[in-house]
Amino acid sequence: SVHIMSGIKATKCKALLRVLIPWVLLTNVMVALYCLRSPNQVKLSDSQKDTCPLGVAKLQNKSLIKQTHSEECSPKVNVMFMKTHKTASSTILNILFRFGEKHKLRFAFPDGRNDFFYPSPFLCSQVKDYKPGECFNIVCNHMRFDHQEVSKLLPPDSVYVTILRDPVDLFESSFHYYHKAVPLTWRIRGENKLTEFLNNPWAFYSPEAFNSFYLKNLLFFDFGLDNNLEADDPRVMTEIKNLSRRFHLVLIAEYFEESLILLKDLLCWTMEDILYFKLNARKSSSVSHLDAEMRAKALQWNGADWKLYQYFNGTFWARVKAYGRERMKQEVEELRRRNAEMKDICIEGGGAVEAQKIQNRRFLPWQPVGESSILGYNIKKDVDPRFRTVCEKMLTPEIQYLSELGVSLWLTRLWGWLKDAIY
């Protein structure tokens, strides 16, 4: 029986190795490909001619200025949206894609993939076909923020916007989505890996480990800051104050509709410009609901992000108060009414469905490694021809929309094919 048991163990080990070895090899291949893809990762000199001058960037499309709905302002077209992870930012991206495409604005896009060489700090040389001194209207893909580099792409009158989310919910979402891409977490045993991690995070985390940034103060990391600073480090508050000087508006994911109304007001856009369907939402069965003790541990572990969120949550509600609470309430109701109208016009069954039930791959969102937990939509078969185009655009996930806007995504698609082939 000892021989039989040892034979079973040997068979299990071989089976495990057959799965693990290809996965490790493919991960290394992809990392190498990602590194090789950008041979020109050069920080360009900071001379004046490298920066987009205001005069060159003036909007050519005069019709947009003429259609303004207010005598007090003109629609703003130069926008930097700092796309943070797991914050409903993909829905904002869809709004920006539609606005930019409609008004023939110029996007600064990445090349070969859907992000700017993340997690490397952003450099202008990562922009597709970039030449020093060139001007763009919109920058909005995932990056690790570097204000000095980003500002070279945009005119000085550009509006900088970003979005934050409660750090506990963001951490839960990030852990679910990315932990299989963080090798240190592969050692976590048990059904509830998130709880195991929070009970002893340093057993499964090292600041230098591959992809570890996904699991600690991810917002701080996205903004180009040190995500390993403790919350009581004075540098945390200094960096938060610096960000408050860089960004004209910080949206809050938990108050998404109010955020969009503030964005509309800041950019002098119309209600039609900010209509949306919630993209990249997870099915509820994949969400881990943390109890009070685990929430407290998650907050402590992500203390820098918690300070960041608290600070900008305060500035957000000051903006709402200045806008007028009754006026905000009416605008939110109008936005909900218009969104409900579009749902009735566009969406089969009126809501999101699981990935397996999406009939057209054009509307199938990107899925995390080894899962199909991200919901998507089916367009109505008998959709009114007058609305077909806008419905399709509102329902199109980020990867497919980028392709339609002419971005080559060969690396992203190769990685998607490999991850799907493995699992």
List the chain domain ranges.
73-422
Which amino acid appears at position 422 of this protein? I
Mean pLDDT per 10-residue run, the chain (423 residues)?
49 48 50 46 55 58 50 90 94 97 96 92 94 95 97 96 97 90 91 92 94 97 97 97 98 98 98 93 72 96 98 98 98 98 93 86 73 81 93 92 85 65 58
Write the DSSP symbol of residue 421. Answer: H
pLDDT of residue 50: 73
pTM (2 decimals)?
A: 0.86
If phi > 0 it is left, if psi is from -120 to 50 it is alpha, else beta; for residue 301 that is: alpha
Quick check: helix, strand or coil at residue 347? Answer: strand
Q: What is the gyration radius of the CA atoms in the chain, in angstroms?
A: 23
Token couple for 140: 């909005």
| Residue-by-residue DSSP string for 271-288 | GGGG-----SPBPGGG--
Alpha-carbon distances, residue 111 vs 26, 79, 227, 401 (angstroms): 21, 20, 27, 14
Write the DSSP symbol of residue 423. Answer: -
pLDDT of residue 183: 94
pLDDT of residue 363: 83
Q: Which CATH number fits domain 73-422: 3.40.50.300, 3.40.50.620, 3.40.50.800, 3.40.50.450?
A: 3.40.50.300
pLDDT of residue 34: 47
Q: Do residues 175 and 302 lie in contact, with contact meaning Cβ atoms separated by under 8 Å?
A: no
> Would you say the C-alpha torsion 118, 290, 280, 252 has a positive or negative sign?
negative
Residues in CB range of 300: below 8 A, 6 or more apart: 231
Give the pairing type, strands 79-82 and 159-164: parallel
pLDDT of residue 186: 92
